[in-house]
Amino acid sequence: HSLSARGMTPPVVVRALGSALLLLGLVLCLPTAAARKTTEPPEWTVPKEDTDSPYGSLWPLPQTVRFDGECYRLNQGRFQILHSSTSTATVGCGILDDAFRRYFGYIFSSSYRTTHRRPVSSGLETFSQLVYEDDYDTHLINKTDIIDFPRFTHRGILIDSSRHYLPVEVILQTLDAMSFNKFNVLHWHIVDDQSFPYQSITFPELSQQGAYHPVTHIYTASDVKEIIEYARLRGVRVIPEFDTPGHTQSWGKGQADLLTQCYNGEEPSRTFGPVNPAVNTTFGFMTKLFKEISRTFPDDYIHLGGDEVDFSCWRSNPTVKQFMESHGFGTDYRKLESFYIQSVLDIVSANRKGYMIWQEVFDNGVKIKPDTVVEVWMESNVKRELAKVTRAGFTTILAAPWYLDYVSYGQDWVKYYQIYKVEPRNFTGTAAQKKLVIGGEACLWGEYVDGTNLTPRLWPRASAVGERLWSQENVTVLGDAYSRLTKHRCRMIRRGIPAEPMFVGHCAYEYKG
Amino acid sequence: HSLSARGMTPPVVVRALGSALLLLGLVLCLPTAAARKTTEPPEWTVPKEDTDSPYGSLWPLPQTVRFDGECYRLNQGRFQILHSSTSTATVGCGILDDAFRRYFGYIFSSSYRTTHRRPVSSGLETFSQLVYEDDYDTHLINKTDIIDFPRFTHRGILIDSSRHYLPVEVILQTLDAMSFNKFNVLHWHIVDDQSFPYQSITFPELSQQGAYHPVTHIYTASDVKEIIEYARLRGVRVIPEFDTPGHTQSWGKGQADLLTQCYNGEEPSRTFGPVNPAVNTTFGFMTKLFKEISRTFPDDYIHLGGDEVDFSCWRSNPTVKQFMESHGFGTDYRKLESFYIQSVLDIVSANRKGYMIWQEVFDNGVKIKPDTVVEVWMESNVKRELAKVTRAGFTTILAAPWYLDYVSYGQDWVKYYQIYKVEPRNFTGTAAQKKLVIGGEACLWGEYVDGTNLTPRLWPRASAVGERLWSQENVTVLGDAYSRLTKHRCRMIRRGIPAEPMFVGHCAYEYKG
């Protein structure tokens, strides 16, 4: 957006992509300490509590920020955000109408706790971060010129609702926090081995048998709709992941003959392997299921998984072996995997969806369409993998350094995994290759995470990823980041997000549980 | 307690120390699967999700448990817990009256979420853990004979309200969870370098200047009273820690000349060191402060800290040097520390309080009274330290292996730090020495913990410590513990405690935030 204040006062300008907005109800006031020149704080290994960023609490840092001495008081009774005459959007644009109202609340409410559950709609985040209060609760903003846009287009959070069921409330809270940190993709790893909480209209037995509980631990059509709409109003795409052919144990409970029967020698054992690609029923099932999924999730992309396929069960099954022979695959089970994946990709393409896949699908030589997005997750050889994938011309997103389910003592956003400092384009390749890295994802896998601890484990650690994916490449000064992020963390708490502390200190409004 | 059901049905008996109670409203029913024989599940390095303990959800495991085939239905309309004629307690005993009401709620409510904030009063935990529901929500209990008592008398949780202010609500929730896990000591590390949230009546400037905020980030007299009473009703002692002479930076803000002025050569620097033991005003101040503390906190013990005293500032200060000379301490600053600590110990003794101290006070040869409790916290040489302290005849409690602020990925209750398996009496010493180890504490230091993440970080990890301190020494089978603890974790959630998951799986009632 391009926001500007008109009328009695010189303009506060926040220029960004999108529509033009007008601010009313600002009155000129005296300059304050917050209007300072940019200085570069010293760099530390582990940030301390006592530095202060010249950029206040801005997070992620916009592309360019210029303050000057003037500030304005915001008159709550008269303050309005309006569409300017140059805007292509008008009253009635749901996303902006909702965002205006929501951010009015964020700007003026002294505590957002009571209303945090379901505020309406996203945007204006930067503007709201510029507003501060003096000791008499007057809301102030300094004259500021900001030009802003994200460095990467894909800024995702992965949540996993299979290892533990995540209540809808927790997912909505995650979407709120994502909008505060300018993430724009919810990668919803919705089903996996452990449970199948997605309630399919076409195949209701999948959740009936495969969910932890068929009533309380599922996502109904209306739950999914609510989550998608809540996300849409906050500028967040929802990309569901239906991971096959591995990671599908829970699918087998409600869909007979979908999984491969494993054998002990001549005898069927009591275990099942990946999806069985040797029978036609599998593809009939997938066609119907992905047709439904394509309609339920409006985003242009579906994540098809494809990671960690174990060949041992396929190897043991006589039908699969016969299928291998008749298709001339020999004993190369990667060819069988490729056959399966290509069939699924064709099914999804027929529904006019693009797809994302985990890196193994590419690594194993599966033929994938040119517009496939390859997600790199393996920690070893990240740089080589990025080079390989982009050399082959594929778009890629980076997840490997940002597995936030891995926790360690202390400020791990700057330690071991280098959550904050990882540079996604730091690999050997041409400029064209670098451009193919379109973003990344902070992944919170669910083995040790549910509604009790998801939010404090994700925030503000994911905020570090958020700034890496949004701000300029050289925005890497830890002391400055620490100063802004501690304030941003307190703002998140004030807006109802129990983001955990980064180090000793306090917030004016603490989270009370 | 000794609980028994009389009237129309044979008795359910839970024998324990204390008063005798009577249960009404039980009706005999058919035996169920829950009445099983004891078997020893296999031992795993990291427990899996699919075993089941013969002891159901009991946590910590009582000293002896015997089930038989009979079970009883609980009639909610007629169920009552009453004092039996052999009981020394009668109606009007506040702790039991409150506990009866509270546990009635825990036994019959399908969800405790709505009332969890301030339930009334502690006890009957074991009985409530034996009650289960069939598929038709009938509340059942199997005929059970339990003899129970704790193995260690001191079962503590340390919380730290200085590195981050902990809202009163969070502390009360911790007390609830403690009672569910049979902890009986809240070690309240209330002040430290970072902030002084205790509002002293005698020295109001301490929190006025030393708290993060003088109004919103303090514990008033009424807050402290509420916490102590809430704890008392749950059978929990509150031992405050006022750690001196180190760890006192925040004290200096509201009490001039209390801390030692550090020097750079001849010149006073801008920093302050530990409490200044070379001036009389210090002891006048401490006398008044500890008199107040002794009255505010009714427990027989006060924790006086004494850890990590840095001598460099004392060495730099000319007044302190002169004091050293005049007292014939030479350059042995341990003698100065000893002098200071002994003075404080005398002050506290005069208020008829016993005291606890961190191990350094003992290590540094400070003369301490025979009834002093020495807390061992240093990870290196724990066994040697326990042997040394007990050989000198002192009572001791163990904290070293249970610093739960150290987190790592996965099931750390069984990993690295061996939270669950540590045996506090596993050191070289006589039987008399072993008896001097009276318990331990799970410590959640506050550098990275506040109201946003305290509860899921503490529970169920501290539950592992709870069982170690309560149950028999040989209760160490991980699979069995895992099975009981996952169920106990879900029970905690149902009672309003957001205890984090141990591994993949689900609870019938999930925490929704």
A305 with A293: CB under 8 angstroms? no
Using alpha carbons, select from A97, A102, A93, A78 the residue that is nearest to residue A24.
A78
Chain A residues with beta carbon closer than 8 angstroms to that of B47: none
Mutate one of B450, B458, B459, B486 to test the A interface: name it (highest A CB count within 10 A): B450
Sorted by sequence, the CB contacts under 8 Å of residue A324 that are 6+ apart come out as: A330, A331, A333, A335, A336
Please list the residues that pair with B408 across neighbouring strands: A408
Using alpha carbons, select from A430, A412, A391 the residue that is nearest to residue A478.
A412
Chain A residues with beta carbon closer than 8 angstroms to that of B493: 452
Shortest Cα distance, chain B CAs vs residue A121, angstroms:
20
* Angle formed by the axes of helices B221-233 and B94-108, nearest 10°: 70
CB of A447 within 8 Å of a chain B CB? The answer is: yes
Mutate one of A117, A489, A492, A500 to test the B interface: name it (highest B CB count within 10 A): A500
CB of B410 within 8 Å of a chain A CB? The answer is: yes
Q: Where are the domains of chain A?
A: 2-148, 154-470
- pLDDT, one tens digit per residue, over A232-241 is 999 999 999 9
pLDDT at A277: 97
pLDDT at B36: 37
Rounded Cα gap, residues B485 and B502, in angstroms: 9
CB of A11 within 8 Å of a chain B CB? The answer is: no
Whether pLDDT at A69 is above 80: no
Token output for B307: 């850890």
Rounded Cα gap, residues B457 and A108, in angstroms: 33
CB of B167 within 8 Å of a chain A CB? The answer is: yes
Pair type for strands B139-148 and B64-74: antiparallel
B167–A511 CB contact, under 8 Å: yes
3-state secondary structure of B395: strand
pLDDT at B103: 87
pLDDT at B1: 38
User: Residue B117 CB: number of other CB atoms within 10 A?
Assistant: 12
Q: What is the pTM for the complete model shown? A: 0.89
pLDDT at A112: 45
List the catalytic residue out of A43, A133, A169, A308.
Answer: A308
**Which CATH code fits B154-470?**
3.20.20.80
- pLDDT, one tens digit per residue, over B6-33 is 333 444 445 443 445 777 778 777 654 4
Chain B residues with beta carbon closer than 8 angstroms to that of A161: none
Q: Which of A452, A506, A513 lies at the smallest CB-CB distance from B499?
A: A452
A116 with A143: CB under 8 angstroms? no
Whether pLDDT at A166 is above 60: yes
Q: What is the mean predicted confidence (pLDDT) over B402-424?
A: 89
Chain A residues with beta carbon closer than 8 angstroms to that of B501: 164, 448-450, 452-453
pLDDT at A99: 85
Question: Which has more confidence, A118 or B98?
Answer: B98
CB of B500 within 8 Å of a chain A CB? The answer is: yes
Chain B residues with beta carbon closer than 8 angstroms to that of A446: 504
Q: What is the mean predicted confidence (pLDDT) over A271-277?
A: 97
pLDDT averaged over every residue in chain B = 88
B449–A408 CB contact, under 8 Å: no
Q: How far is CA A156 from CA A323, A426, B161, B233, B253, in A?
A: 39, 19, 35, 48, 45
DSSP state, residue A270 = E
Shortest Cα distance, chain B CAs vs residue A135, angstroms:
14
pLDDT at A8: 30
Q: What is the mean predicted confidence (pLDDT) over B196-212?
A: 96
B368 with B344: CB under 8 angstroms? no
Whether pLDDT at A134 is above 90: no
3-state secondary structure of A142: strand
Q: Which amino acid is at B146?
A: I
CB of B379 within 8 Å of a chain A CB? The answer is: no
DSSP state, residue A198 = B
Using alpha carbons, select from B152, B123, B309 the residue that is nearest to residue B234.
B123
CB of B213 within 8 Å of a chain A CB? The answer is: yes
pLDDT at A22: 72
Token output for A144: 């500021």
Whether pLDDT at B341 is above 90: yes
B448–A503 CB contact, under 8 Å: yes
Active site residue B308: yes
pLDDT at A416: 62
pLDDT at A95: 83
Q: What is the mean predicted confidence (pLDDT) over B203-220?
A: 95
A111-115, A345-349, B202-206, B339-343: the lowest-pLDDT one: A111-115
Q: How far is CA B328 from CA B19, B152, B236, B278, B338, in A?
A: 57, 43, 45, 13, 13
Strands (E), B138-276: 139-148, 154-160, 185-189, 237-241, 259-264, 267-275
Strands (E), B47-107: 64-74, 80-83
Instruction: Compute the count of residue pairs across chains A and B with CB atoms less than 8 Å apart.
Output: 138
Q: What is the mean predicted confidence (pLDDT) over B491-495?
A: 95
Sorted by sequence, the CB contacts under 8 Å of residue A252 that are 6+ apart come out as: A210, A258, A259, A272
**H-helix or E-strand containing A375?**
strand A373-376
Using alpha carbons, select from B380, B474, B391 the residue that is nearest to residue B436.
B391
Chain A residues with beta carbon closer than 8 angstroms to that of B504: 163-164, 194, 446-447
CB of B416 within 8 Å of a chain A CB? The answer is: no
pLDDT at A121: 35
Mutate one of B195, B213, B506 to test the A interface: name it (highest A CB count within 10 A): B506
- pLDDT, one tens digit per residue, over A414-424 is 876 589 999 99
pLDDT at A77: 83
Helices (H) and strands (E) in chain B, counts: 16, 18
**H-helix or E-strand containing A156?**
strand A154-160
CB of A500 within 8 Å of a chain B CB? The answer is: yes
Shortest Cα distance, chain B CAs vs residue A341, angstroms:
28
Shortest Cα distance, chain B CAs vs residue A290, angstroms:
27
CB of A513 within 8 Å of a chain B CB? The answer is: yes
Residue A80 pLDDT class (50, 70, 90 cuts): confident
- The C-alpha angle B485, B18, B390, rounded to 5 degrees, equals 70
Rounded Cα gap, residues B270 and B262, in angstroms: 7
CB of A194 within 8 Å of a chain B CB? The answer is: yes
Chain A residues with beta carbon closer than 8 angstroms to that of B500: 448-450, 452-453
Using alpha carbons, select from A306, A312, A195 the residue that is nearest to residue A261.
A312
pLDDT at A136: 84
Chain B residues with beta carbon closer than 8 angstroms to that of A506: 164-165, 195, 212-213, 217
Chain A residues with beta carbon closer than 8 angstroms to that of B449: 500-501
pLDDT at B85: 79
Rounded Cα gap, residues B277 and A78, in angstroms: 60
Whether pLDDT at A355 is above 50: yes
B409–A406 CB contact, under 8 Å: yes
**H-helix or E-strand containing B14?**
strand B13-16
Rounded Cα gap, residues A171 and A455, in angstroms: 9
Using alpha carbons, select from A9, B210, A10, A12 the residue that is nearest to residue A1.
A12
- Which phi and psi (to 5°) does residue B242 adopt? -115, 95
Question: Which has more confidence, A296 or A68?
Answer: A296
Residue carrying structure tokens 């008829």? B352
- pLDDT, one tens digit per residue, over B32-63 is 444 333 333 334 455 555 678 888 899 999 88
Specify whether the backbone of B257 is left (phi greater than 0), alpha (psi in -120 to 50) or beta: left
List the catalytic residue out of B43, B49, B169, B308.
Answer: B308
- The C-alpha angle A478, A479, A484, rounded to 5 degrees, equals 95
pLDDT at A41: 38
pLDDT at A93: 82
B406–A407 CB contact, under 8 Å: no
Shortest Cα distance, chain B CAs vs residue A209, angstroms:
15
CA neighbours closer than 13 Å in the CB half-sphere of residue A52: 7
A406–B406 CB contact, under 8 Å: no
Sorted by sequence, the CB contacts under 8 Å of residue B295 that are 6+ apart come out as: none
DSSP state, residue A20 = E
B409–A408 CB contact, under 8 Å: yes
Residue A120 pLDDT class (50, 70, 90 cuts): very low
Whether pLDDT at B67 is above 70: yes
Complete DSSP assignment for A71-121: EEEE-TTT-EEEE-TT-S--TT-HHHHHHHHHHHHHHH-S--GGG-SS---
Q: What is the mean predicted confidence (pLDDT) over B313-330?
A: 96
Q: Which of B407, B408, B512 lies at the smallest CB-CB distance from A167?
A: B512
Q: What is the mean predicted confidence (pLDDT) over A247-257?
A: 97
CB of A321 within 8 Å of a chain B CB? The answer is: no
- pLDDT, one tens digit per residue, over A455-498 is 999 999 999 999 999 999 999 999 999 999 999 999 999 999 99
Residue B395 pLDDT class (50, 70, 90 cuts): very high
Rounded Cα gap, residues B328 and A229, in angstroms: 77
Instruction: Kindly state the percentage of chain A with pLDDT values over 70.
Output: 89
CB of A506 within 8 Å of a chain B CB? The answer is: yes
Pair type for strands B259-264 and B237-241: unpaired
ipTM given for this complex: 0.86
CATH of A2-148, one of 3.40.50.300, 2.40.30.10, 1.20.1260.10, 3.30.379.10: 3.30.379.10
Sorted by sequence, the CB contacts under 8 Å of residue B303 that are 6+ apart come out as: B187, B189, B239, B240, B241, B242, B243, B355, B356, B357, B375
A367-381, B98-112, B116-130: the lowest-pLDDT one: B116-130
- pLDDT, one tens digit per residue, over B159-199 is 999 999 999 999 999 999 999 999 999 999 999 999 999 99
pLDDT at A421: 92
